[in-house]
Structure 1
Amino acid sequence: MKKLIYLITMVFAISACTTDFEETNTNPYQLSGKSLQEDFNHVGAFYPSMLSQIFGNQIDHNLTNVTFSQHLATPTPFVGGVNNTTFYIRWNGYWAREYDNVMAPAEQVIEIAQEGGYTVFVEWANLIKIISMSRVTTYYGPIIYTNYGSTENALYDDEETLYTAFFVDLDRIIAEFKANSDYPGLKNFDASFDGDVSKWARYANSLRLQLAMRISKVAPAMAKAEGEKALADSAGLIESNDDNFNISLYGAKFHPAQIAFEWGDTRMSATMESILIGYKDNRIEKFFSPVEDMSLVSDHPDWPYKGIRNGAEIVAKDDRLSFSTLNPEFNEPAKVTKRKVMSADEVHFLKAEAALREWAGSGGAAMAQTHYEAGVRASFALWGAGGVDDYLADNTSLPIDYNDPVAPGTVNDFTNQITNTVAWDESASNEVKLEKIITQKWIAAYTNEMEAWVDYRRTGYPKLPPVYQNSSNSDWGVVPAGESIKRMPFVQTEREGNATGVADATQKLGGPDEINTRLWWDTGAPNF
């Protein structure tokens, strides 16, 4: 009984607020004591709450992976301009969000589901744990997964152990879903796939392919085996936008829109401006709003969009509030009701890279172009953008140089370093082809930037400009000039409450607990 009361409390708890940084999550599943015993409510009601926590708020999402991947940038000089965006860590909250709001309730609900024999619910919770932890590890490296809940001061998994555990768990999860594809129990709690277990199996298989590609340079044999398993599995992959995995916002506003329109703390990035305008990419109007002041875009008036350089030198917030914000539809909860976690474009790009790497089931190198172009087409279709045929045929356009019209002289300006066009060139090297794939994958990742930050660290693509203001120092580790942040440091609550675990994790990290220490899969070695 105490477990059940705890779970009910977890579902409806409101996260503690921090001024200007927290979002409030609402849950439409209002339960009475009677209904808890009907229609799987006593287990199922907790899943929307867990899923709603996968994306972080401003602290642990917008001011970390979103800015590190250079999709959005801030006009606000937080803490005098010395903050996460300039590589001095002020906020580091994703660990607590995921362990408190996903791992803890998942473990509790798994216990209840196991006691009742609800095996599909058990594996659904286990999948949600992998979704969460596979993202958390991209921040920190070693994390607590296999030892979670086992001791007061749990030891972290090294990353090889962690990914091995993910793959073993996915074997069991996918097998359970495939064996119970017509199971009706999830429907009332599943705003992503309306209770279709076969679609959850398809997503789990696609997640396997994503994780396999992530480790392709550091553990090529394991990556190939797991990637080929995903490509061959009868569950299939997400290859149509109809099968995309989205998480419902449960009536809340898309959080980056709140940051942009209510707080004025985020805008289009200069890198997005450079790449989208240079490539004549019609998705730009679906992503962002044009500026009203045409003096800001005198260098490209036909494309009236202006971004902010990531890690810019910023004096006052008001200086750049007139730069391009998000498309206003993002600010309408009735129109934007969900946020993508994995879409068909990403899977096609994964298959394109798998083809370059000659993984069985990908079609081999000869199919890389087919998968690449399918990825671009899927993204254009998802956003309702036109002109994809001309876009894919363009073998001359390149990203443009960036000029900050507010800053004096050349402050915040950068010269584009990308020399690769959109059009596929079958005679090009695998390195050139990979750059095309990852650059398009980066664009398509808009609104779910986590893997874009992973790919940039893993492959070096796209060729992003360095931050203009690098405030890193010995407090959190120095990022050399021209380089980018590699990870987030372990959180202070763990340093204080689990010092033994953090010390062990630092050994497993293979370097100091600093922001310039590479994660396991970020080898810095050649891509081929």
Structure 2
Amino acid sequence: MKLIKNILGFSLAAGLFFGCTENFEELNTRPDVILADNLDLGLLGQAFANAQWRAMYGVPGTAGPGGFQLAQSLFADIYSQYFANTATNFDSDRHTQVGGWSNGAWNSFYQQAAPVINFVERFTAANNLPLENAFAKVLKVYAYHRMTDYYGPIIYSNFGNGETSVPYDTQESIYKNFFQELDAAVTVLKANAGRTAFLAHDQVYGGNANDWLLYANSLRLRLAMRVKYVEPALARAEAEKAITDGVITTNEKNAAVMTTTNSRHPYWTITNWGEYRMSALMESVLKGYNDPRLGVYFSRTDDFVAGTSPNEYKGVRNGLPRADLDQGALNRAHSDMGVRWLNAGRGGLAFGPPFRMISAAEVFFLRAEGALEGWNMGGTAKDLYEKGIEMSMTESRIGATPAQVQDYIARTNTPAPVTYTARPDWNLPASSDIPVAFLTAGTKERQLEQIITQKWLALYPDGWEAWTELRRTKYPKPYPRVASDNVDVPRDRVMSRLIFVEGEYNNNRAAVEAAEQLPELTTRGGNRNSTKLWWDAKP
């Protein structure tokens, strides 16, 4: 980790949005030298817009979706079992943490997202811009919670300390600070009801403080549920606080970063590379439920369109050995993402759909889980579960009618077996026996499986959050991989975390080696892919 050598001035701030944050050549910006006297609110707004996009691992302009691919597509999207790898030289689906990929993902965050988020937060605090600062705090919590949910301990409170060695924080301390940061932000947002900030540049809510309050509380609810198994009292207190202050309840208030011709959704490009296809688990669940989202989430197979296969939609097994990775054949026989995420030349949108951060559907499923615990979530588990399904079904990308929603909610269908005519050794039984219709007389654990399975479907294609929830709840029940190349994570286990990246041993060795010795890791197995994170404590 390097020490910044140049004061961040007007010219650098002006380049934040239009340029690339590789201009922050040094990662560890000193907090006392980031102020620019002549930085106006327009340029500050551009910096905030840049921070929003980079927090999602998006790269404006023509730099491409490399950060997103390294961070999400090659890890969480595969480990959540939304997709399975089909590219010959891609080993992450067999539980291999390819060092160059995870190192690139880490650098993408700490070289591109973190400096801009840090700049906006500190500048707004120093220049008495409380509403803008509240927005920045909420964005910071969102961005960093995704990072700690990958690695556990990360650089957080000391980012920008001006030192040549930057210590890591424990995940426990980071999460507890998240709640404090949200407290501070929510206090300001409530005091500024009806006001706006970053009006022309906020790519999520157009600067509306009321909407940011809903987002902050919904994010609090997500983080509260994350700690349910490790600190249940804290989880309940924070979840009920979120409900009291108001959360997202309609799709119109979903938090999503807008896409443009200058900031396309990464899938818009990645899908054209043909490196993954629908997973077998997705096939089992969507086909078994006869789910109307199947044709929206995924495309018909090329072989079906060509009339050479009866499989209109087909998922591929996770963890195929290299010998079985015939990319062309696998891609033709299995389903790509739905047209919504394809590029315009393949029938998609001009720049892809909005980049969703949190939705009403997710919030209702979080509330349903809380209601199962007896928390005050403003409804019963059954009612909130069904409302979550409705919100997912009626999002603009689905557009289901009320009658279709009610029909689906009442179904007793269960997930289906997955068969491969040419490879019977790949055949799988049904992934579960739970129906869509809420099991009113079922056990609490069976009801939780229903809630999380439908939540997994509603989160698509946010593999980052889906992998996190799979680790936390163990649902939906994943299929074993065909093979694993990782002795720490067998093929029938779920990857628990990413280990610390190689670049940190070159640039920040003392700090990363100290992080390896944190009890949060040593008591659970050390710096390994099989070591459970702090919140991963379900019995």
Q: TM-score over 0.5 for the alignment?
A: yes
Q: What is aligned with 1:428?
A: 442
> Post-superposition shift, 1:48?
1.4
Q: What is aligned with 1:69?
A: 80
Q: What is aligned with 1:160?
A: 172
- Among 169, 188, 192, the alignment partner of 1:180 is 192
1 CA distance for matches of 2:447 and 2:121? 44
- Among 78, 97, 108, the alignment partner of 1:89 is 97
Alpha carbons 1:340, 1:447 under 8 Å: kept:
no
Q: What is aligned with 1:54?
A: 55
> Post-superposition shift, 1:127?
1.7
Change (3 A) 1:138 1:2: closer
Answer yes or no: is 1:419 the counterpart of 2:433: yes
Answer yes or no: is 1:289 the counterpart of 2:299: yes
- Among 489, 497, 515, the alignment partner of 2:499 is 489
Paired letter, 2:52: L
2 CA distance for matches of 1:182 and 1:45? 22
Q: What is aligned with 2:112?
A: 101
- TM-score w.r.t. the length of structure 2 is 0.86
Paired letter, 1:357: E
Q: What is aligned with 1:381?
A: 394
> Post-superposition shift, 1:505?
1.8
Of 443-452 and 200-209, the range deviating more from structure 2: 443-452
Q: What is aligned with 1:24?
A: none
State the Cα deviation string for residues 184-216 of structure 1 (Å, max 9, x = none): 332101121111111011100000000000000
Alpha carbons 1:142, 1:156 under 8 Å: kept:
yes
1 CA distance for matches of 2:354 and 2:479? 31
> Post-superposition shift, 1:440?
0.2
State the Cα deviation string for residues 209-230 of structure 1 (Å, max 9, x = none): 0000000000111111111111
Q: What is aligned with 2:145?
A: 134
2 CA distance for matches of 1:184 and 1:2? 27
> Post-superposition shift, 1:524?
4.1
Aligned Cα root-mean-square deviation (Å): 2.2
Alpha carbons 1:259, 1:266 under 8 Å: kept:
no
Q: What is aligned with 1:263?
A: 273
- Among 373, 383, 401, the alignment partner of 1:370 is 383
2 CA distance for matches of 1:318 and 1:480? 28
Q: What is aligned with 2:514?
A: 504
Answer yes or no: is 1:231 the counterpart of 2:243: yes
Alpha carbons 1:212, 1:227 under 8 Å: kept:
yes
1:113-512 correspondence to structure 2 within 5 Å: 113-150=124-161, 151-233=163-245, 236-251=246-261, 252-260=263-271, 262-294=272-304, 304-313=312-321, 314-322=324-332, 323-331=334-342, 332-334=348-350, 336-363=352-379, 367-382=380-395, 383-385=398-400, 387-395=404-412, 397-405=413-421, 408-410=423-425, 412-473=426-487, 478-508=488-518, 509-510=521-522, 511-512=525-526
Paired letter, 2:364: H
2 CA distance for matches of 1:445 and 1:337? 14
Q: What is aligned with 1:20?
A: none
Alpha carbons 1:270, 1:308 under 8 Å: kept:
yes
State the Cα deviation string for residues 352-399 of structure 1 (Å, max 9, x = none): 000011112444xxx00000000001000012235221211112x221
State the Cα deviation string for residues 319-376 of structure 1 (Å, max 9, x = none): 212121122232233373412110000000000000011112444xxx0000000000
2 CA distance for matches of 1:307 and 1:297? 18
Please give the secondary structure, in 2, of the residue aligned with 1:341: strand
Q: Which runs of 5+ in 2 are unaligned?
A: 1-6, 23-35, 58-67, 343-347
Answer yes or no: is 1:3 the counterpart of 2:18: no
State the Cα deviation string for residues 449-470 of structure 1 (Å, max 9, x = none): 2221111111111001021111
Of 329-338 and 277-286, the range deviating more from structure 2: 329-338
1 CA distance for matches of 2:190 and 2:258? 24
State the Cα deviation string for residues 279-315 of structure 1 (Å, max 9, x = none): 100011111111243499999x5x7201112212333
State the Cα deviation string for residues 150-186 of structure 1 (Å, max 9, x = none): 2321221111111110000100011111112333332
Please give the secondary structure, in 1, of the residue aligned with 2:511: helix
State the Cα deviation string for residues 398-427 of structure 1 (Å, max 9, x = none): 211222345x441x3322230111111211
Please give the secondary structure, in 1, of the residue aligned with 2:233: helix
Q: What is aligned with 2:32?
A: none
1 CA distance for matches of 2:204 and 2:476? 30
> Post-superposition shift, 1:15?
6.9
> Post-superposition shift, 1:74?
2.2
Change (3 A) 1:37 1:133: closer
Paired letter, 1:123: A
2 CA distance for matches of 1:501 and 1:221? 32
Alpha carbons 2:137, 2:185 under 8 Å: kept:
yes
Paired letter, 2:411: D
Paired letter, 2:56: F
Q: What is aligned with 1:29?
A: none
2 CA distance for matches of 1:320 and 1:15? 38
2 CA distance for matches of 1:427 and 1:175? 41
Of 47-56 and 339-348, the range deviating more from structure 2: 47-56
Percent of paired sites with the same residue = 32
Alpha carbons 1:156, 1:505 under 8 Å: kept:
yes
Q: Which runs of 5+ in 1 are unaligned?
A: 17-32
State the Cα deviation string for residues 470-501 of structure 1 (Å, max 9, x = none): 1113xxxx113411110011111112222222
1 CA distance for matches of 2:387 and 2:308? 35
1 CA distance for matches of 2:214 and 2:357? 13
Paired letter, 2:258: S
Paired letter, 1:388: V
Residues paired across the two proteins, number: 488
State the Cα deviation string for residues 69-122 of structure 1 (Å, max 9, x = none): 01122221225xxx2111111121332222222221222233332343212222
State the Cα deviation string for residues 432-457 of structure 1 (Å, max 9, x = none): 00000000000011121222111111
2 CA distance for matches of 1:409 and 1:361? 46
Please give the secondary structure, in 2, of the residue aligned with 1:73: strand
Change (3 A) 1:149 1:14: closer
> Post-superposition shift, 1:134?
0.4
Please give the secondary structure, in 2, of the residue aligned with 1:193: coil
Change (3 A) 1:296 1:224: farther
2 CA distance for matches of 1:346 and 1:316? 36
